Structure 1
Amino acid sequence: MSELHRATRADARRNHEQLLAAANQVFTEHGADASLGQIAKRAGVGIGTLYRHFPTRDSLLVATLQGSLLALVDYARALLDAKSPGEALKVWLKAYIKHATTYRGLAVCLPPLTNSASICELVKNAGTALLERAQAAGEARADIDFDDVAVMSAGVAFATQEVKEAARRKRVLALFLDSLDLR
């Protein structure tokens, strides 16, 4: 491999990392619908470089959240051995909803992401396994699937992300979990 080729690859890796760091900062400050141009500028690259690395906003969001998404998958897998499947699902859904508020406005993006990005597909499969286990044990409603739960979770996350009172956020979350008949 030529020295020029190695330098280009190192530069591309550096740009990729700078874009992820800048995206995390800008999404944290301005929400999931933040300007991609602002992200590129903060990373010190042009918008074309951003799009070469991340062709869509969704791909950038998923890449920025990859570690936390994988942690959700691992958490779900660990909970599959819990004594109470309904309680395991409840605990995981609280983590899932908390994750949906990582960036303001992220909750709106989550349902479509779970159907498009491979890492989000892992999250969906992990949530589905917990839900189906709770349903099989008679500890959750039998007439729902994880797509229903994901959409409702996104709604709860969206509705509570700006609520200042912790008691109100907890109440809305409890009402949601009660709607699943978790025992």
Structure 2
Amino acid sequence: MRADARANHDRLLDVAGAVITEQGAEASMRDIARQAGVGLATLLRHFPTRESLLEALLRTSFDELTTRAAEVETTSSPGDALMLWLRDFVACTTNYRGVVTSMIRAIEDPQSALHNSCVTMRAAGTRLLTRAQAADVARADLDGADLFALASSLAWLGDQPGLETRAEHLFEVVMSAILTDRAA
């Protein structure tokens, strides 16, 4: 990629991250291009769809979550590893308002630009859940899809005006429902 094209690409990602953080995943592509100081055609050359833009923004975060899962798997007890990773998942997905809906759609659509990143990240969480279940500290009746749905609902909750303050309390409630050694 030429230096000027690389600069546009990087600037578009920086601006898109800020705009989506503020306005949500449905922010105007035209507004992102304008704030980045480029035309809409330039934005669409780099990111032909909103989903491809979200994928570029989220890929790094999702790769970090996958790496984080491997890290906590080797450094923490099974229950703690799952809880730490879920907390990181919720924090990551609430960085960009409204991204949870895109993630849920992407998991179900193999053609989605976000599909591979989401599937890999979900598999990392599933591995932590399976490890906690094998250690008999997590409910046996949950699978990776259930875990992803619960974590996504917690991330969605953090996006809702007026409910952000409940998010931490409800995270603890959900963890006590998942991890049998933390049940009240």
TM-score, normalised relative to structure 2: 0.84
Matching residue of 1:137: 135
Unaligned runs of 5+ in 1: 1-7
RMSD: 2.1
Partner Cα distance (1:63, 1:182) in 2: 37
Q: State how far apart, in whole Å, the 2-side matches of 1:122 and 1:9 are.
A: 31
**Matching of residues 5-20 of structure 1 within 5 Å:** 9-20=2-13
How many residues of Structure 1 are paired with residues of Structure 2 in the alignment?
175
8 A contact 2:94–2:156 mirrored in 1: yes
Residue 112 (structure 2) pairs with residue 112 (structure 1):
no
Question: What is residue 64 of structure 2 aligned with on the other side?
Answer: 71
The 1-side partners of 2:99 and 2:156 are apart by 8
Q: Which has the larger radius of gyration?
A: 1
Q: Which runs of 4+ in 1 moved over 4 A?
A: none
Superposed displacement of residue 182, structure 1: 4.3
What are structure 2's unaligned runs of at least 5 residues?
Answer: none
Q: Is 2:24 aligned against 1:26?
A: no
Displacement, 1:154? 1.4
Deviation track 1:72-102 (CA, whole Å, cap 9, x = no partner) reads 1221111111452122101110110111110
Contact 1:88 1:130 in 2 (8 A): yes
Identity percentage of aligned residues: 41
Residue of structure 1 aligned with 2:126, choices 125, 128, 146: 128
TM-score by length of structure 1 reads 0.84
Q: Which moved more, 1:115-124 or 1:101-110?
A: 115-124
**In 2, distance between residues paired with 1:37 and 1:59?**
15
Q: Counterpart amino acid of 1:63?
A: A
Query: 1:83–1:153: structure 2 CA closer, same or farther, 3 Å change rule?
Result: closer
Distance 2:33 2:76 in 1: 47
Does 2:41 align with 1:48?
Answer: yes
